[in-house]
DNA sequence: AACACCTTCAACCGCCTTATA
DNA sequence: GTATAAGGCGGTTGAAGGTGT
């Protein structure tokens, strides 16, 4: 990984490793001269050390040497510090090890929801200026925040199939993730559990459902056309869990409840969890179940499904025809395809919510899922 | 158990900025 | 004003550990 060739390449480009003795003047004080002599000695020693510099992971012994030296002499002048401490490392390497790992006040471990929220907020303000962001998170290093962003946040952008710098992703972050995080923080402060809330009805997830697995081959219709043996699917990352609604249930209310004491499934990450569901109360609220073909999703006029990224509302007679061959499609595909329309405009609806909806079509089972991504 | 794949994060690279003479 | 050294920063890498098959 850390070959000598890369070392030499780096040193060749280095801005500060060439001789500086020609810059001395005769007007320097004796103190300055001592400093200069020390610097020259350091420099010479560093040139020798270049050939046997250590790279890669730090050992406990090296950590101890660096920590002890800094506790006795303080930080700064990293190149000479490295030599004085007896470390065969570059000054840069020592500095990085100290600032990112050994420093006593460095905080490590899980990024809290509060910190996540702050990172999202600050990133929207400063962009990839990690050190700037780190200034607002005591104990957190720019490196850690950068890693968090790349491994967690960008992962979710990938899941959404959009670029992390795209408007869609930024809007999703601001309109969906950040409010959800704020809710979680508030819930934690209140001592209540976070809940999965149906964005349309405001009902909360019923934790008493029977999630006993149902065979994948079961031919059922999730859109409310079948009255029996209906199945619910909950997505947890890539693992699907199925839930069977009690036979006695005549409506979808067994999936959603008004109770505020129910608890949502555990989040699959610090940032978010996904939930697949299908339209709640669909059957009971539709004018006629027989109108639900595999192409058209009709739902009650008093319900509005809003795109959080555009603020547009989904047409009630939206036509899904032509998407059956795609396992997963996104709203922007609907829009660009032109076979469906979004109506309304941003912020025009008082019933607009901040949920992000995705659609999953399983042609083999004739099932339409709506995915509400919750954060 | 073994292997493949995925995720995390410490450490490095290279460029830019700042400090110093 | 210029040259050089050092510090700082964002991007990238790859080893290590975790997870799935």
- A289-313 pLDDT, tens digit per residue, is 222 233 333 333 434 443 333 333 4
Distance of alpha carbon A239 from its chain centroid, rounded?
19
User: Which residue is nearest to the C1' sugar atom of C15, using CA?
Assistant: A1
Among A45-49, A59-63, A139-143, the minimum mean pLDDT is found in A45-49
> Is A125's CB less than 7 Å from nucleic acid strand C?
no
Distance CA A109 to C1' B8 in A:
12
Q: Which pairing describes strands A239-244 and A231-236: parallel, antiparallel, or unpaired? A: antiparallel
Answer for A73: CB within 7 Å of strand C. Answer: no
pLDDT of residue A82: 85
Give pTM, 2 decimals. Answer: 0.52
| Helix (H), strand (E) at residue A202 | none
Question: What is the nearest nucleotide to A126, using C1' and CA?
Answer: C10
Q: Among all protein residues, pick the one whose CA is nearest to the C1' atom of C9.
A: A131
Q: Which residue is nearest to nucleotide B9 (CA to C1')?
A: A147
Q: Is the CB of A268 under 7 A from strand B?
A: no
Query: CA A13 – C1' B11 distance (Å)?
Result: 19
DSSP state of A252: G
Count of C-beta atoms within a 10 Å radius of residue A265:
17
Instruction: Classify burial at A236, counting beta carbons within 10 Å of its beta carbon; exposed 0-12, middle 13-18, buried 19 or more.
Output: middle
Average pLDDT taken over every residue of chain A: 51
User: How far is the CA of A313 from the CAs of A174, A337, A346, in angstroms?
Assistant: 18, 16, 9
Backbone angles phi, psi at A152, to 5 degrees: -100, -55
A18 touches strand C (CB under 7 A): yes
How far is residue A142's CA from residue A106's CA, in Å, rounded to a whole number? 11
Say if residues A358 and A373 touch (Cβ distance below 8 Å): yes
pLDDT of residue A159: 63
State, as a whole number of angstroms, the distance between the CA of A61 and the C1' of C3: 38
Instruction: Provide the token pair at A192.
Output: 């209540």
For A167-208, how does the pLDDT look when each residue is reduced to its tens digit (9 = 90+)?
767 776 776 677 777 777 777 776 654 444 433 333 333 333
pLDDT grade for A330, boundaries at 50, 70 and 90: very low
Burial of A197 (0-12, 13-18, 19+ CB in 10 A): buried
Q: How far is the CA of A153 from the C1' of C11 (A)?
A: 16
- The answer to whether the C-beta of A39 is closer than 7 A to strand C is yes
- CA A40 / C1′ C16 distance in Å: 40
Cβ contacts of residue A143 below 8 Å, gap of 6+? A100, A130
Q: Is the pLDDT of residue A57 over 70?
A: yes
Which residues, at least 6 apart from A121, have a Cβ–Cβ distance to it below 8 Å?
A178
């Amino acid at each position: 990984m850390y070959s000598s060739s890369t070392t030499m390449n780096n040193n060749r480009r280095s801005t500060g490793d060439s001789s500086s003795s020609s810059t001395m003047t005769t007007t320097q004080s004796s103190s300055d001269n001592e400093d200069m002599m020390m610097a020259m000695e350091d420099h010479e020693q560093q040139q020798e050390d270049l050939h046997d510099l250590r790279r890669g992971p730090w050992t406990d012994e090296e950590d101890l040497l660096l920590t002890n030296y800094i506790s006795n002499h303080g930080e700064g002048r990293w190149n000479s510090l490295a030599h004085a401490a007896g470390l065969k490392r570059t000054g840069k390497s020592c500095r990085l090890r100290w600032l990112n790992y050994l420093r006593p006040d460095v905080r490590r471990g899980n990024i809290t929801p509060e910190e996540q929220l702050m990172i999202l907020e600050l990133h929207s303000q400063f962009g990839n200026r990690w050190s700037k962001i780190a200034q607002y998170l005591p104990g957190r290093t720019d490196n850690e925040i950068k890693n968090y962003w790349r491994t967690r946040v960008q992962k979710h952008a990938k899941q959404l199939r959009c670029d992390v710098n795209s408007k869609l992703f930024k809007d999703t972050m601001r309109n969906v993730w950040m409010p959800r995080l704020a809710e979680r923080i508030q819930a934690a402060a209140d001592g209540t559990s976070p809940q999965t809330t149906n964005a349309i009805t405001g009902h909360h997830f019923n934790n008493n459902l029977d999630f006993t697995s149902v065979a994948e081959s079961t031919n059922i219709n999730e859109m409310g056309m079948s009255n029996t043996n209906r199945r619910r699917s909950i997505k947890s990352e890539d693992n699907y869990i199925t839930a069977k609604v009690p036979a006695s249930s005549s409506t979808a209310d067994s999936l959603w409840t008004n109770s505020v004491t129910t608890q949502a499934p555990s989040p699959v990450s610090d940032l978010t969890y996904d939930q697949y569901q299908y339209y709640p109360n669909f059957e009971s609220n539709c004018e006629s179940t027989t109108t639900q073909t595999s192409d058209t999703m009709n739902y009650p006029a008093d319900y509005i499904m809003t795109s959080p990224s555009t603020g547009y509302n989904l047409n009630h007679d939206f036509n899904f025809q032509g998407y059956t061959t795609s396992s997963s499609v996104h709203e922007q595909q609907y829009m660009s395809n032109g076979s469906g329309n979004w109506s309304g405009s941003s912020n025009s609806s008082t019933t607009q919510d901040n949920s992000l909806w995705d659609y999953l079509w399983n042609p083999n089972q004739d099932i339409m899922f709506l995915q509400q991504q919750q954060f």
